[in-house]
Amino acid sequence: MQGDKRVPAYAASKGGIDQLSKSMAHDWAHYNILVNAIGPGWVKTDVTAPLRQDKEREAEIYGRIPLERWADPEDLAGTAVFLASDASDYISGQTIFVDGGCLSM
């Protein structure tokens, strides 16, 4: 939902997932199938390890996260459980962002 330097393919894929979930939600609604996505922010993974090791780049990223920390993979679990539960039975075609507030800036 935001571009960022050095990750254009990743940024494009996030936009693609958002639009794919909207399109699939529309197509599959007739079958009572809900389609949603989780949009993670900056998460501590092996893929992001080089960014976290680059202190200058890490400082730039921290400047964009209002909660001032990288997400742990477990931070996404609550959203996944919510979307898998009956509590989300009338939600479809949405991307729920778990990003520490990045998109609020």
Catalytic residue among 10, 31, 62, 90: 10
Known active-site residue 10:
yes
Residues 6 or more apart from 48 whose CB is under 8 A from it?
Answer: 42, 70
Q: Shortest CA distance to 20 belongs to which of 97, 70, 95, 91?
A: 95
Q: How far is CA 50 from the centre of its chain?
A: 19
- C-alpha torsion sign, points 59, 53, 67, 87: positive
Catalytic residues: 10
